[in-house]
Structure 1
Amino acid sequence: MNTSALPSQAAWLWRTATLLFAGALIVRVFAVTATGFDGLYGQDAYAYFDQAMALRATLLQGIPAPPGFHWPQGYPALVALMSLAVGGVPIAAQLVSLVMGSLVAPLTYLVGRKLLPSGGDGAAILAAVLTAIGGQAVLSSIVSMSDATALALILLSMWTALEFATTPRRRCLLALAVVFGCAAVATRWASILVAPALAVPALRGLAYGRRLRHIFPALLAAALGSGAVLFTLFHNQAFDLMGYFRNWNLLNAVWGPIPEIPAGTLSAKAPGLLYYLAPLYHPAFLGPLLGPLAGWGLWRLWRDNEPYRSLTLVLWAGVPFFFFVGLPLRNLRFCLTNAVPFILLAAWGAWILLPRPFLGKAIRVVIGLSLALIVAWGARRIESFTSAARAIIHTVHSVEALVPAHAIVLTFEITQTFEHHSDLQTFELFDQNEATLGMLIKGGRPVFLLTQPDDVIARWQNQAPGINTRWLEDHGSLQEIEAWGLYTLRRFEEHCVHQAGFPRAEAAS
């Protein structure tokens, strides 16, 4: 064995990982600077940021964080720590996502080197590049959400578990794998779906090492410490985790229409079985040309007698896929949990075909076209996403300029944006009922409703937004004031009460 080659090999490994991290970070920073996006949008990102600021107040002033947060608090905890350095501003949350999202590319490379057979370094680099430029991975890295952070922690756990499988005497690696895995679950609960895949290299290392009595203390300490952290993070959580299991139905895998999803979209039309195979065909991940090569890559692994690698990749891709297809939910960001094994298999499938004279040329064209398609889709998606976020903020400012300062505004899905960008008192329509609506309209203050009427009718007719809208219509009238894109501002007027000064708008801006 040539031991002199080891230092240069290690230097090459870390140099490549560093370059991949730098490249991924440049892509993400460019996306932020080009769009001016601060990471906050919708409801969830604001909720994460608010929780992080509550945890920051706990750290600095000892003020207990309010109960009722809906998700695991790992990501808000990291944002709170970052805010100690940069201040309690939105960039604190975005920085966490940027850094952790940029780590996905080098970690994909490190995991790929371990999971792919000898000679697979090129395939691992290709897979890392795909995660560095992939539209969904980039988008999740610039928003203040937990997805990119959870994926980075999953990859850290997988990498340390794979290292343990090949060097079982380094028992601290298994403890680190447990810690990183628990941290991933504490960041995003769906990360627990990767546990069966993580168990494969862990059990392999234990079987080869045969030193369980030495490993057990470190493993027990890691499990107890991580369990305590998980219990603390999940205890008294308002989020109903079991609700997902109650709503899970395998029929969703073959049944497309989902009422809570906008009609006419792929999300609404496609059954879960097709939708959650998106990493294999959607340009947010691999695209339709490169994706099918994942099947070839898996077959070659199995044919070449690589059951350990095959089983790890299949469990990593398959267990989350099986769970997601049964949910009455469709979201591309869910696919991040198990996108990496699909990407690794496709990269391996392409890589082993490159040496072939005719097929190699075709594969080079496929890779080039796929990279171009992925970049083009990602740029367009990020621009449309951030433009929509800016449009909502513009709507908030327009409403604030139009209605009286003492008015009450009922909103749906953008209430958090109002709370951060206006001084108006707003209430989430989803959280109201007959009693609370009655108190609001009897309070003597003007009441306005800002929603997407067509969306409420199509998706929420028999749920709180639709029910509450009909209640307002039954107890008065909703006079249209102005419209901005899909959002319409209406003023509630009780029967026989005519308000002046707010003529019906003739055009939408």
Structure 2
Amino acid sequence: MSILKKYHLYILSLIGFFTVRLVLEFDGFYGQDSYEYLRYTEALKDYYLNGTDPGDYFWPVMYPLISSFFSLLIDSKWVLVLISFGSFLGIISLITKIIGELYPAKKSATITNLYVLISFCFSPYFFRSSLIGMSDMLACFFAVSSLYILLKYNKYFQLKWAILFMVAAVAAVMTRYASAVMILPMGCYFVYLLLAGKRWLTIGTSIVIACLVLMPHFLIRGVGSLNFLGHSWLTNWNPINFFAHSFATHDGFQEHSFSNLLYVFSPFVHPGYLLVGSGLLMFSKFRLKNGAPWYVVAGVFLYLLFLAGVEMQNMRFFVIVFPFCVLLFYPAFVRGRNKLPRVLFSSGVIVAILLQTAYFTYSFSKFHKQQALEKSVAKKIIDMNLKGPIYAFSLDVALTNRGVVNEFKNLWSTKFDKFELGSHVLFNPESTLKQWKGRSPVINWNKLLAEYQLTLVMDFGEGWKLYKIE
């Protein structure tokens, strides 16, 4: 019983993981991004074994790099997801310890475990992210590790903590570039501690460690190492986007219910992250003294401010900052526990857990449905034994990774002057025409309709159809 009590957070998480993985047969891959991480993991693995050039890669290399080493031992698909889930378990452990460091007067093992249970294990979007082969959870783990290690260094001033901080902080940025915004205040405080203490050996060692962690990025990316500085998030960042809720970008046209300035409060109050957040606001008191360190508050503020100026919205972007938001709310949770009647507080916790479980089921069903579609389309195309290329958009990356051997010609990346007769096109007019109006996918589709005869070969459902070009 003592083991169950001590490790119940991890046991519940493991039950959830294996239920999704084995019972629901969700392998952690859907859409396009996760398959790109998988592709480059396999490319690096092939490089180790056969010397084949892995080619270029747009995103930070840390996630596929770490995954590629473990993929020498077990299947890459398992590795990528296990890293995400392992990062999730690590975050739970670290947050529990950080709460003890930041709020020693308020810390109670029972209250802390209950808060972590609600905030992480039953957080629909955050827990869902731990089941997917994407870099968000690993970047989050490195960011949370940076905070924990910085607290230790500020307490003991030992060289080992300085080294570990540089490893974690730089690794976070090399896993997801945007985490640099949140890491920056911690980095500034770390530099201040080094300079104020005149710790020249530690400064020199930290610089060397940072260079070593950065080295794989420059070795793999080569001349493209700094291409991320030209990313649209930076070049098109604009305060005007604070008040916008619709955007026309290279990702098409997107329209949302709320402006960016409201959207960025999601990790505090959105039911997909923290259902009890809106209630905790009533018990919140902003205090610099005896509260979270300024560099935690500043990191959260800068990161959310940065997202508010980006010309798109995606709930996935809050995964990295969410644990820091949870830390800021811990005193409010304790205050609510002390002020509310015991029955009311307990009832609220139970209702919150039930509602967040229901919301997880709802939100995860979309991912599961998307993956089921990808598997079904891939199997049917393989069974048809089609000849020639397939012109496609959106599903092409998934189908390649699920065994379709046909060459795919992407309708998004190229405006085609002509199409090969006898080939096929896989398209979803229902979901594409509005979002991609005036863009390559719709331009190519309209050209096909105007200049060629399209014969329906198969309707896969959900709007996806395969046509033969004649």
Same-fold status (TM-score > 0.5): yes
* Correspondence 1:136-215 to 2 at 5 A: 136-168=125-157, 170-199=158-187, 202=190, 205-206=193-194, 210-215=197-202
Aligned counterparts of 1:177 and 1:27: Cα–Cα separation in 2: 31
User: Shift of residue 349 of structure 1?
Assistant: 0.4
Amino acid at match of 2:450: D
**Contact 1:411/1:449 (<8 A) preserved:** yes
1:375 matched to 2:357? The reply is yes
What is the DSSP-based 3-state SS (H/G/I as helix, E as strand, rest coil) of the residue aligned with 2:391?
A: strand
**Contact 1:166/1:205 (<8 A) preserved:** no
**Contact 1:353/1:360 (<8 A) preserved:** no
Aligned counterparts of 2:216 and 2:323: Cα–Cα separation in 1: 27
Aligned counterparts of 2:7 and 2:299: Cα–Cα separation in 1: 25
1:217 matched to 2:208? The reply is no
2:442 paired residue number: 466
User: Shift of residue 480 of structure 1?
Assistant: 3.6
* Correspondence 1:89-488 to 2 at 5 A: 89-122=76-109, 124-129=112-117, 130-168=119-157, 170-199=158-187, 202=190, 205-206=193-194, 210-232=197-219, 234-237=221-224, 240-243=228-231, 244-259=233-248, 268-287=256-275, 289-294=276-281, 296-299=283-286, 301-302=287-288, 305-306=289-290, 309-356=292-339, 358=340, 361-402=343-384, 405-420=386-401, 421-435=403-417, 438=418, 440-441=419-420, 445-483=421-459, 484-488=461-465
Aligned counterparts of 1:350 and 1:182: Cα–Cα separation in 2: 32
User: Shift of residue 325 of structure 1?
Assistant: 1.3
User: Shift of residue 428 of structure 1?
Assistant: 1.5
Deviations 1:202-249 (A, max 9, x none): 2575488x3523432332322332343443355444864422211222
Aligned counterparts of 1:182 and 1:295: Cα–Cα separation in 2: 36
Tell me which moved more, 21-30 or 330-339: 21-30
Aligned counterparts of 2:330 and 2:469: Cα–Cα separation in 1: 57
Aligned counterparts of 1:18 and 1:79: Cα–Cα separation in 2: 27
Q: 1:295 to 1:315 in 2, by over 3 A?
A: farther
Q: 1:257 to 1:29 in 2, by over 3 A?
A: same
Q: 1:241 to 1:349 in 2, by over 3 A?
A: same
What is the DSSP-based 3-state SS (H/G/I as helix, E as strand, rest coil) of the residue aligned with 1:490?
A: strand
Q: 1:183 to 1:330 in 2, by over 3 A?
A: same
**Contact 2:45/2:71 (<8 A) preserved:** yes
User: Shift of residue 447 of structure 1?
Assistant: 2.3
Q: 1:98 to 1:125 in 2, by over 3 A?
A: same
- TM-score scaled by structure 1? 0.83
- TM-score scaled by structure 2? 0.89
1:7 paired residue number: none
Equivalent pairs: percent with the same residue? 18
Highest Rg: 1 or 2?
1
User: Shift of residue 15 of structure 1?
Assistant: 11
**Contact 2:252/2:437 (<8 A) preserved:** no
Aligned counterparts of 1:340 and 1:77: Cα–Cα separation in 2: 25
Aligned counterparts of 1:55 and 1:15: Cα–Cα separation in 2: 40
User: Shift of residue 298 of structure 1?
Assistant: 4.6
Number of aligned residues: 462
**Contact 1:106/1:128 (<8 A) preserved:** no
Gaps of 5+ in 1: 1-11, 494-509
Gaps of 5+ in 2: none
2:468 paired residue number: 491
Alignment RMSD (CA, Å): 2.8
What is the DSSP-based 3-state SS (H/G/I as helix, E as strand, rest coil) of the residue aligned with 2:337?
A: coil
Amino acid at match of 2:238: N
Aligned counterparts of 1:204 and 1:359: Cα–Cα separation in 2: 45
What is the DSSP-based 3-state SS (H/G/I as helix, E as strand, rest coil) of the residue aligned with 1:427?
A: strand
**Contact 2:186/2:296 (<8 A) preserved:** no
Deviations 1:255-303 (A, max 9, x none): 112346898x9x622211122211122222111x33442574352x34x
Amino acid at match of 1:198: M
What is the DSSP-based 3-state SS (H/G/I as helix, E as strand, rest coil) of the residue aligned with 1:284?
A: coil
What is the DSSP-based 3-state SS (H/G/I as helix, E as strand, rest coil) of the residue aligned with 1:488?
A: strand
Q: 1:179 to 1:295 in 2, by over 3 A?
A: farther
